[in-house]
Chain A
Amino acid sequence: AQSVTQLGSHVSVSEGALVLLRCNYSSSVPPYLFWYVQYPNQGLQLLLKYTTGATLVKGINGFEAEFKKSETSFHLTKPSAHMSDAAEYFCAVRKGYGGATNKLIFGTGTLLAVQP
């Protein structure tokens, strides 16, 4: 079975500082990994995803994540935080095959606060 652990339910950074949101996964088969962002009172929006190929994935709004199989991690980073990045971020995992019964499993989320 697949599962996701997000370390740190709340992260606070200063504007301009590095953003690092941690995600570790557990999967018995090659995983597909996703990061979603949820702004206040809105639905979820895909930031980026890893399926196959390059392990460093670039997404929208300057975010990127690196799939590290040896560490079972998929941490999300952004070099310089902006006030508009304040939101809740969810890491998710899915089996890399078997689309017919293939649900997306989410972590519990990390709320990012950006201080001026």
Chain B
Amino acid sequence: GAGVSQSPSNKVTEKGKDVELRCDPISGHTALYWYRQSLGQGLEFLIYFQGNSAPDKSGLPSDRFSAERTGGSVSTLTIQRTQQEDSAVYLCASSLSRDRDGTGSGNTIYFGEGSWLTVV
């Protein structure tokens, strides 16, 4: 497809279970981001992948959260031993890495529609 694709769109899980959320970025985009959107909390940065560079994991809230990106394309965000406070919308986004100024900072970041996670 033309946009960022995320699955599942909705997930209800029991407290203590592990969940995996998948993101398929726009073809050709080497930068991939995960954000979390909680009610009243805005958008919280989680992790950022750029090509083959080491990911920026500075936003992961605990060691229960991890993410990988295989082959520079699809990414999976894993939450182990889920807690109720993990309930949120998890948004994936992607962008081109470089633009005319050479940094990629001005490139548009395109977002998927999110994976709605509910921990009961």
Contact = CB atoms under 8 A, between A and B. Distances in A.
B98 A99 contact: yes
Interface size bucket, B side? 20 to 34
Contacts of B50: 99-101
Nearest to A106: B43
Interface string A21-52: 00000000000101010000111111001011
Given A101-B50, A103-B59, A104-B33, A51 B108 contact: no
The B interface is mostly helix, strand or loop, or mixed, namely loop
A94 B99 CA distance: 15
Contacts of A42: 113
Contacts of B31: 99
Nearest to A42: B113
A100 B50 CA distance: 6
Contacts of B45: 103-106
B33 A51 contact: no
A116 interface: no
Top 4 A-B pairs ranked by shortest CB distance? A99-B104, A51-B106, A108-B42, A106-B43
14 contacts: A32-B106, A43-B113, A44-B43, A46-B108, A46-B110, A51-B101, A95-B105, A99-B31, A100-B53, A101-B56, A102-B48, A102-B103, A105-B45, A106-B35
